[in-house]
Amino acid sequence: MANTSEQLTLKSSTQKHKPFYKLKVLYEAPSGQKWEDKEIQGTFMEWFNVHGFLQKKDLQLWLGKNIEVIGMADPTSQKVAEKQYEDIVDDTVTMASASATETPASAAKTRKPRKKA
């Protein structure tokens, strides 16, 4: 019997004592044509909090950003990921411009005098 539907295959792997998670992605058409065939990698810290609990939303956003078909199936998560990226870029630009306007002389003026022992 022929396969009449699209097929998404995910194969995960890790190496002992390494913080990386690898995911092999294969997305095929019913005809067998490969629409997406790639390997992506991320760190566990992207999806787990400091207590070791999985942050489902963070994992979902990462999958939607890195696997096209998942991003298309859940466009809201892809938009959220894009918004987060834009916010990070905006914050970085703001911090860079703020530090560029501060000169060593202006930084010295804001320092408090040291107390003598």
Q: Average of pLDDT values for 56-83?
A: 78
pLDDT at residue 107, rounded to an integer: 52
pLDDT tens digit sequence for 99-109:
555 555 555 55
pLDDT tens digit sequence for 1-54:
556 788 889 999 999 999 899 999 999 888 888 888 999 999 988 888 889 899
Give the Cβ contact number of residue 35 at 10 Å. 13
Q: Report whether 43 contacts 15 (CB < 8 A).
A: no
Give me the amino acid identity at 113: P
Q: Report whether 55 contacts 49 (CB < 8 A).
A: yes
Closest to 67 in 3D by CA, of 45, 88, 37: 37
Does pTM surpass 0.85? no
Closest to 26 in 3D by CA, of 54, 75, 67: 67
Give the Cβ contact number of residue 50 at 10 Å. 6
